[in-house]
Chains A and B, each alone.
Chain A
Amino acid sequence: MEKAGLQRDYYIIIAVMVVLPLVLGGLKAGNFYLHVLIMLGIFTILGSGINLLMGFTGQASIGHAAFFGIGAYVSTLLMIKLNFPFWAALPLAGAAGAVSGLLIGYPSLRLKGISFAIVTFAFGELVKMIFVNWKGLTNGQDGLTDIPSPALWGINFAAKLPYTYLVMIFTLFALFLVDRIVNSRVGKAFISIREDEDLAASTGVNVMQYKILSFVISTFLAGIAGSLYAHYMHFINPADFTVAISMTLIAIVVIGGLGTILGPILGSLVLLFMPEVLRPVKDYYYLIFGIILIVVMIFAPVGIMGGLQALSRKKASGRTEAVSEGKAS
């Protein structure tokens, strides 16, 4: 991952994020496109966290919807029951995600292998059970309704356009955070763990500490995404945070490209536009999504981004060849 290339990409991404909501919001079906953008942002934040954990550190969490849900419920309850402002509830939702990640990660990340994945899965079930059974707090299956919008300087965040920009800011934050980490010493440690845990340990990397750090960052991002989701939908219930959602998130990251910064955006785009593209066969759309996941993993494990990178490398090498030929003649 060349640094210069990514920094150039940043300006493009920022420009797109500033302009796109304005353009799309002005179209005839503007609100629909803004809705897609908001969901795209939320999925990208979630996906970036999972990508840091799975794509860069090599650890699979299949209970990420639980942390997403914890963020959503914590943020909502703080606002509804304790009258916290959104701007306090959102970071606390992230913190709640991080703390629960720490509690779960500590016993389960000590070992190599699958116990971590199993624990996250079991935790996902447990959290859903709490959402369903702790009726006094969560209102059970019926969920929480009338979740308020954020308020700041008289901006109406109940409208789609301001909320889109709010989500875009956090999306950018997530992408930036993951990129910075991956290109730092910490990121090198993550990648060394992904490649070979024993080897990493033998070169002095504190494997468990770094695995926990990677996991906590990803659950923190999931908590933030949960808060953004709750105050956008104004309604949450346990069905929003099931294992199926966790699987979908993994699929997004894999299809977009494991271990690539922009992969989660592309994967989310695929997820959000598949229902549109496959409208004639809409009953089959989730089935096709699963098949794509398997096919990508077998034939193109770096996903769409991997394909794009291979293409651009080919183009670049073609160009140098042309240059050297020119020199020879």
Chain B
Amino acid sequence: MVFLQFLLNGVMLGSAYTVVALGLTLMFSIMHIVNFAHGEIFMLGAYVCWVILTQVTGNYWVAFLLSMVIVFFIGMLVERLCFRPLYEKAHINMFIVSLGLVIVLQEAATLIWTGFGKSLNTGYKTVRRIGQIFITDERLIVIGGAVVLIVAALLFFQKARAGKAMRAAAQHRMGARMVGVDINRVSSLAFGVGAALAAAAGSLLGPLSMLTPTMGGTVVMKAFVIIILGGMGSIGGAIIGGYVLGIAESLFAGYAWSEWQPAVGFVILILVLSLRPQGLFGRG
């Protein structure tokens, strides 16, 4: 039954990765931003949640939602200041700006919260037994919370007016503008939503390990592997890619060598690029 245990762990990781990757793919498909600072936004979300939880209220869910809201606005600000001036320039410029943001956000977090790990304690530590497998409430919350966020995001893209405007902008920026979509508003909203999703993932995964200013680095890499695996800009691909990577990593770490777990992403990356470069669900 150890297999089911690993599988459940993989589903948990995959759920959280998917939430991060959704925001990333949103920013890429609408604004062509390859946002390397997405992991730092994830980190920021976890820290904001920690600050609210320890200083303002003891309620994890209030802290979780407030962190999403605060980071949503920070995201809109970042889009306005750092990326909007560059939409008409070469895409590599935005990419380099995002690298600058990585440095700025990591350093700012180190100055404010020091490099020492902080623990985000939700209080949900009870261990449950489901058949043969054991799981803590914390981990169940990751799965449940992530699934709710993924479904909410899908509904938003399909049903909400702003979500439809985003899809239109992703299909054709100029075309969307011609039918009356306010492209600046959509870009700003898309960055905000993406940032809020990353923040939520940070608050979900944060309790499982220590918060550090560099915690976003590995997460952003996984998110990029996922969107390349799923196909750039494909939302369904990001979801499936997220679970594939999470489960593959978890099984590999469980059955093979845990210290080489990060290599799984690299191997998947090279295989996808060699065999199916457009990704599983890409349009080629």
Contacts and interface: CB of A to CB of B under 8 A. Distances in A.
Instruction: Tell me the interface secondary structure of chain A in the complex.
Output: helix
A108 B232 CA distance: 15
Interface string A37-62: 00000000000000000100010101
B273 A107 contact: yes
Contact of A117 (B34, B100, B102): B34
B102 A125 contact: no
Contact of B100 (A58, A60, A115, A290): A290
Interface residues of A, number: 38
Interface string B240-284: 000000000000000000011011011001100110010000000
B191 interface: no
B217 interface: yes
Interface in A62-105: 62
A113 B260 CA distance: 28
A239 to B, nearest CB: 12
A251 B102 CA distance: 12
Contacts of A133: 259-260
A191 interface: no
A265 to B, nearest CB: 19
A42 to B, nearest CB: 21
Nearest to A132: B259
B103 A298 contact: no
Given A111-B277, A129-B262, A301-B89, A290 B228 contact: no
B141 interface: no
Contact of A125 (B89, B103, B266): B266
Contacts of A276: none
Contact of B103 (A115, A118, A129, A290): A290
A270 to B, nearest CB: 14
A119 B224 CA distance: 9
Interface in B74-112: 82, 85-86, 89-90, 92-93, 95-97, 99-104, 107-108, 111
Contact of B104 (A54, A107, A290, A298): A290
B126 interface: no
Given A110-B273, A294-B82, A54 B103 contact: no
A297 B93 contact: yes
Given A121-B221, A301-B89, A60 B103 contact: no
Closest 10 CB pairs of A and B: A290-B103, A293-B100, A294-B100, A287-B107, A290-B104, A122-B266, A118-B224, A107-B274, A107-B273, A114-B34
Given A114-B34, A247-B102, A284-B107, 5 more contacts: A58-B92, A122-B221, A254-B96, A294-B82, A298-B86
Interface of A: 54, 58, 60, 62, 107-108, 110-111, 113-115, 117-119, 121-123, 125-126, 129, 133, 243, 247, 250-251, 254, 283-284, 286-287, 289-291, 293-294, 297-298, 301
